[in-house]
Amino acid sequence: MSNYLEQVHHRDWKDNNYLKIPSFFSDEEVTALQGWVKDIEGRKPTHDKWMHHFEATPDGTRLSRSENFVPYHAGLEKLLTDGKVLKVVSELMGEPAVLYKEKINYKYPGGGGYAPHQDAPAYEFVTFHITCLISVDPATPESGCLSFSPGQYEKGFIALDEQGCIAEEVASEMEWVEVPTEPGDILLFGSYIPHKSGTNRSNQPRRIIYVTYNALSEGDWREQYYEDKRQAFSEYSKGSSTQAGQISKIGHFRGRTVLNHEQSD
Ligand SMILES: O=C(O)CCC(=O)C(=O)O
């Protein structure tokens, strides 16, 4: 394993369960990432490969999320399954990690935020995950960066409501810390830390790649995860479903999902 992390990082992680590493990617790497995200974004939705989700914004229908693109993009596959992100996550886990899932959240101007939640209720099959947020654009309080509630992650599931999120009355009593990021920064966080984000109130996109890993000793569940999710989405995409509009196993997305949209306008 490599040594991206110093003792101070491990201490921060233990205290907070999130860790920001500024400028983890060079300017050249950021330029490549921005091009790769544009490439994924420009692809037509498929029924059996990558998945796109759309939302209504003041500027029309825009992508809210893409997922399951790693097997279909050589550059991203190499970067996320064989490079320094995997190494830093493995170092934090204290054992080799394996990719569990990946997504891009675009959050175009007016794009929706996310209700207070923990990721763990949506991430089945495995007990613990670490997600690496890769900032492709600046994420600011105005454009809807993440906020975390530190010191809560050892409590297990917290006040899950019927949507799998943290009950509003409990979330409103928690302390929240906004964590802005610049292109090239990464932000690592565990699957039990409460987090949330707001609507993008700026006039710029706020694109972020989220890459989630689990300990390899718990198995490689990626294919099973997406098979299961594809089935769930075919259910959610029926307008009559009580979960219509969800873009995850939990109902945390606060944007206005556009169902069965074929391509962005
Ligand atoms: O991208 C965001 O603003 C938050 C995303 C998030 O928390 C999630 O996708 O679970």
The C-alpha atoms of residue 36 and residue 28 are separated, in whole angstroms, by 12
Which atom in ligand 1 lies closest to the alpha carbon of residue 65? 9
Structural domain spans, the chain: 7-241
pLDDT of residue 242: 79
Which atom in ligand 1 lies closest to the alpha carbon of residue 250? 10
- pTM of the predicted structure, to 2 decimals: 0.96
Compute CA distances 49 → 43, 69, 116, 245, whole Å: 11, 7, 30, 20
Looking at ligand 1, which residue's alpha carbon is closest to its atom 5?
114
Compute CA distances 209 → 102, 106, 199, whole Å: 7, 9, 17
Per-residue pLDDT tens listing for the chain (265 residues): 457 899 999 999 999 999 999 999 999 999 999 999 999 999 998 888 999 999 999 999 999 999 999 999 999 999 999 999 999 999 999 999 999 999 999 999 999 999 999 999 999 899 999 999 999 999 999 999 999 999 888 999 999 999 999 999 999 999 999 999 999 999 999 999 999 999 999 999 999 999 999 999 999 999 999 999 998 888 887 767 778 788 888 999 999 999 878 644 4
Looking at ligand 1, which residue's alpha carbon is closest to its atom 6?
114
> Which of 100, 114, 207, 209 gets mutated to test ligand 1 (max ligand atoms within 8 A of its CB)?
114
The fold for domain 7-241 equals Jelly Rolls (2.60.120)
Looking at ligand 1, which residue's alpha carbon is closest to its atom 3?
197
- Residues lining ligand 1, judged by CB closer than 6 Å? 105, 107, 113-114, 119, 144, 146, 195, 197, 208, 252
C-alpha of residue 265 to centroid of ligand 1, in Å:
23
Looking at ligand 1, which residue's alpha carbon is closest to its atom 1?
105
C-alpha of residue 48 to centroid of ligand 1, in Å:
24
C-alpha of residue 97 to centroid of ligand 1, in Å:
22
